């Protein structure tokens, strides 16, 4: 609690939250572990057990700490299940040896496992960056499951023209073998906590401040008891290329099968992985597919939901509270299947 209190106190003038309210809400956070064949999916849960399920998915090499600033301020009618995707945060890594392939595809499998674990028949998804890509693929594959999809700063994941696929596959093989060598020799650099914090801020292009970095490092770093130094905990295989790529035509086929309400929240200084023309075409694909599309552009960087939640929360909460009554769900979670 000491760390959380300090983290909040530094940002209080910006977030305009009351300390007592914050501490009370934080007490409702529950750590969870969901069993999967290779170990467990870790996460943090909040809200009533019989609330409308909202599955929260983080971005690449992040963890569920990305929602530190907003999770307990979402509508109280929602049961928020905020997970660490495989190989991230405190979730189990896949067994040694196999390549991970596409982290987005793997995440789509995991969403189904989480859905089955809780017994949800219908639920909402919130995704940031890579987590948004997972949400789009799942909602396309299982449109009957998803009531709404909230996308934070990712119009679409990166696709590659088919003529680039052979070169990309070559790079996937080489990068996998290099990562396997590092894993075999345990080559993971270590830093003082302050140096690791500054490294994360630098890698993210100054998109996060020290407090936001702390929120990610709380689950994304560990202290080596022998050296007293810190190292990142993500599975190194997450950094390898995906052998089998998808082109824009393939992505569009998935996106055109969405049938849920859709909220797109884009940061003005956020991710710029696709061209303006591709972004416009992707948004038009969504517009033609879904019954409701809301698009908001906000000042801020790629992690604006973590650094400036007061800009994002009103939009998300308005969208979620407008969920039609027909989106009500049944859940087996109240029977105690939620984990720890």
Catalytically active residues, by annotation: 129
131 CB burial (10 A radius; 0-12, 13-18, 19+): buried
Please give the helix or strand (H or E) that residue 175 lies within, else none. Answer: helix 165-185
Nearest-CA neighbor of 54 among 319, 337, 335, 339?
A: 319
How would you class 95 by CB atoms within 10 Å of its CB: exposed for 0-12, middle for 13-18, buried for 19 or more? Answer: exposed
Phi, psi for 245 (deg, rounded to 5): -90, 170
Q: Which residues contact 220 (CB under 8 A, 6 or more apart)?
A: 61, 62, 63, 65, 88, 89, 232, 233, 234
123 token code pair: 């639920």
Q: Are the beta carbons of 332 and 118 closer than 8 angstroms? A: yes
Angle at Cα 138 formed by Cα 98 and Cα 104, nearest 5°?
35
């Amino acid at each position: 609690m000491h760390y959380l209190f300090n983290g909040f106190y530094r940002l209080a003038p910006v977030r305009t939250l009351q300390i007592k309210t914050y501490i009370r809400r934080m007490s409702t956070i529950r750590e969870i572990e969901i069993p999967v064949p290779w170990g467990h999916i870790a996460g943090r849960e909040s809200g009533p057990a019989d609330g409308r399920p909202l599955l929260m998915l983080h971005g690449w090499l992040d963890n569920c700490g990305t929602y530190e600033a907003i999770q307990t301020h979402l509508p109280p009618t929602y049961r928020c299940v905020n997970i660490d995707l495989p190989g991230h945060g405190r979730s189990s890594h896949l067994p040694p040896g196999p390549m991970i392939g596409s982290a987005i595809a793997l995440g789509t499998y995991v969403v189904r496992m989480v859905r089955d674990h809780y017994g949800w028949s219908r639920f909402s998804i919130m995704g940031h960056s890579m987590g948004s890509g997972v949400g789009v693929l799942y909602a396309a594959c299982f449109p009957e499951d998803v009531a709404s999809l909230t996308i934070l700063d990712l119009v679409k994941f990166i696709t590659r023209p088919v003529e680039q696929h052979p070169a990309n596959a070559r790079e996937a093989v080489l990068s996998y073998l290099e990562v396997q060598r590092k894993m075999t020799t345990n080559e993971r650099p270590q830093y003082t906590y302050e140096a690791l914090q500054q490294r994360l801020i630098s890698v993210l292009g100054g998109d996060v401040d020290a407090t936001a970095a702390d929120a990610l490092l709380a689950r994304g770093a560990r202290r080596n008891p022998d050296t007293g130094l810190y190292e990142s905990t993500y599975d190194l295989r997450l950094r390898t290329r995906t052998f089998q790529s998808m082109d824009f035509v393939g992505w569009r086929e998935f996106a055109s099968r969405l049938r849920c309400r859709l909220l797109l929240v884009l940061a003005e200084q956020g991710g710029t992985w696709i061209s303006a023309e591709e972004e416009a075409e992707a948004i038009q694909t969504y517009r033609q597919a879904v019954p409701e599309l809301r698009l908001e552009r906000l000042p801020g960087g790629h992690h604006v939901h973590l650094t400036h939640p007061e800009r994002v929360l009103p939009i998300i909460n308005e969208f979620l509270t407008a969920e039609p009554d027909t989106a009500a769900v049944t859940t087996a979670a109240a029977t105690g299947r939620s984990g720890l």
